[in-house]
Structure 1
Amino acid sequence: MKRSGKNPKKWRLNYVIAYLDSERADRYRRLVLDSLVRAATLRRIDYAIDTEAPLFDEVHDKQHTPFQGIVADLVRFRSSSESLSSVKEFRSIIDGLFRDYDIFFQGSPFEVQSQLQKFLKEDPFPEEFCRPLAYPYVELHSGKESTLCITEEALQKIIDDTEDSPKSSQWLS
């Protein structure tokens, strides 16, 4: 998909992933975060992931709360000049992926919800983040430095293909 000729408006968006407890977080975290990262990659949206973010500390401090064991991850998204979606389009993609996952009403093991925009001012986009490029390349940014990388999935495919090829068996002997 090509971008229109003009530069799109820059935007930010945070999503909170809440798991009922650490066991469910361990079980579902990879599925949820991989889905969010793939959506960001497809739309070329910068992202930063904070696992076990201290978002529900006040719930943990209360003794008899049914959600006392809740664990939260925070995923921050930001558009760049190369992004292919508006905030509305990207939010629609993410909300559509996780529409019926609701720990409070549906009894789901996790929930994915956008954070209110007013909290973005209190939570600046981190200096360490990932910027998806043409698949399978990703730039890892740390301050003013960036490193070109390939995704773990692409690397694993290269390794698997190399091991499966008849020529590679000569080299492995």
Structure 2
Amino acid sequence: MKRRKSSFNIAALRLPVQLAAAAALLYLGTLGLKLVTVFGMALAVPTFSCHYIDNRFVNCALYELQFRLPQVLDPATWRSALAALGALALMFALSVGILGRAWCGWVCPLGLLQDLLTRVRVLLRLPAVDLPEHWRAGLRTARYALVAATVLLLLSIGAPHFFMARYRLD
């Protein structure tokens, strides 16, 4: 039996899915959907969502990490803090580990921004930059260094509170 070639192009769905995901992550809270909670904890996904906006749909993973780390040292809150950090690690593993690059390419608003910038570049007929291989190898390493620096910066901002959590300063 001869296999029929499909004319469906999944790439055509990418922009509408990205727009819908960005709208959902950014505006569902404003439309009345409350903050998603799992076991009484705010759901944090690896997508930046400002914690200080009251009408948010999900929580920012970096805020949760910075907020929960000092609580680990507090005898009254260490269990709930470890549970929250475990839930954060599980959500990260599920969304990035299972979905892989699909999360960043199809759901995260930063992927949408990158695709829109590429469309603008193509419309302006600007050529794509083709870097030499040794530059690309260096940039592959640099992206992980940038992620590590971001996490270290996050931890250093929370460090004074982290080490002073047991002491009352009033």
- Give the TM interval when normalised to the shorter protein: under 0.3
Larger RCO: 1 or 2 (CA < 8 Å, sep 6+): 1
For the pair shown, which has the larger CA radius of gyration, 1 or 2? Answer: 2
Report the TM-score when normalising by structure 1.
0.23
Quick check: which one's strand share is greater?
1
